[in-house]
Amino acid sequence: MNSNFTPLSASELVEKISKIPKVDLAQLPTPLEFAPNISKELNINLYVKRDDCTGLAFGGNKTRHLEFIMAKTLSDNYDCILTGASSQSNFCRQAVAAANKLNLESYLVLMHGVKGKLMQGNFLLYNILGANVDVVEGEDLEQIPKHLDKKYNQLIENGKKPLLIYGGFGKEDTTLAGISYANAMVEIDLQMKEQNFLADHLFVTAANMTQAGCELGAKILGWPTRIQGVSPVYWEMDIKKDIARICNEGAKMLDINLTFTDDMINHDNNYVGKKYGAATEDGIKAMRLLANKEGIILDPVYTSKGFAALINYIEKGIIKKGEKVIFMFTGGSPAVFAYNEEITNNPSL
């Protein structure tokens, strides 16, 4: 029962996580950086967790996920990976880079979405990294598993042995990705102790897995911090339930007696704008503000929307003057190059 739960120390949680197979891909720990200029501007104490600095092909949160998801390739007889997302996917960029490091070929099935085959940003990087890419029509990310299954059968017929990575749509992948972010919470726990503070809020732009890992780690470590997820997409599925499910699977995998329910999850989809992958005016303003104050470049699809939410939560009084806020910068900056028009041609900016 949660009420009887005794939090674990960082080292106790590390010991549990270390039992789960992992392959080293990321440069860890990433810095937790106090941001003095934007803190002054916003009247809070803002710390940025620099997960854009995980190191693999421009970095990002997905490198942490892949350390656990791709551990299988060390023992089983795979010769390639197959995965998919949108055509400007940060996940796919990091997955192909990880596969290259592990001497595996890569196959990507990408939804056309907003940017399609535009040879810029992440799409250009798949090309440089040498992935085999199929682009399918449509925008609905929830169609990806269907396309992946079709491609998987074709690869098997051609004698390949692919590791099929469903990412956010796979039960095991989401659990492992969640575990990787419980591990990131251990890093932050130690960094907060070193820097002598405890966060009042943690903001993370998340579809599902990264927020689930933050929730899981924070609860296991007994933080009082309010975790706020900001969505980059309008889902058909009940995403709070899905996040709670990932937390529960993660707790089970770590042999920890914690239960999560959807009412424990704060997840806001008011900052998506028109649709997934479309930049927003407030997001681009937030991107410019952080770049101007701190030299940090957010991305147009995820983190700029998360940072716009953070600013709006200050305006609404949910984050109060002087409070300590961690912004989880999950990376994605290579996508800015595919969004040059939205960033520069908007007359109101």
Question: Which has the closest alpha carbon to 301: 117, 119, 175, 113?
Answer: 113
Q: 209 or 319, CB closer to ligand PLP?
A: 209
CA distance 141 to 113: 9
Q: 151 or 305, CB closer to ligand PLP?
A: 305
- Which residue is listed with tokens 């997409």? 233
Q: 8 or 207, CB closer to ligand PLP?
A: 207
Q: 191 or 205, CB closer to ligand PLP?
A: 205
Minimum CB separation of residue 39 from ligand PLP in Å reads 22
- Which residue is listed with tokens 């269907």? 146
Cα dihedral: 152, 158, 163, 164 (round 10): -10
Using CB under 6 A as the criterion, which residues of the chain lie in contact with ligand PLP when the complex forms? 60-61, 90-91, 168, 177, 205-211, 299, 302-303, 330-332
Q: 114 or 206, CB closer to ligand PLP?
A: 206
Minimum CB separation of residue 201 from ligand PLP in Å reads 17
Minimum CB separation of residue 241 from ligand PLP in Å reads 15
**Strand 80-86 and strand 162-165: pairing?**
parallel
Minimum CB separation of residue 283 from ligand PLP in Å reads 12
Minimum CB separation of residue 227 from ligand PLP in Å reads 12
The dihedral sign for the CA sequence 299, 275, 140, 240 = positive
CA distance 140 to 81: 22
Q: Which two tokens stand for residue 150?
A: 């079709």
Q: 239 or 289, CB closer to ligand PLP?
A: 239
Minimum CB separation of residue 349 from ligand PLP in Å reads 21
Minimal CB distance residue for ligand PLP: 332
Q: 29 or 60, CB closer to ligand PLP?
A: 60
Minimum CB separation of residue 110 from ligand PLP in Å reads 13
Q: Which two tokens stand for residue 194?
A: 């070193």
Query: Read out DSSP for 267-315?
Result: EE-TT-TTSTT---HHHHHHHHHHHHHH-----TTTHHHHHHHHHHHHH
Query: Read out DSSP for 199-245?
Result: -SEEEEE-SSHHHHHHHHHHHHHT--PEEEEE-SS--SS-HHHHHHH
Q: Helix (H, G, I), strand (E, B), or coil: what is residue 47? A: strand
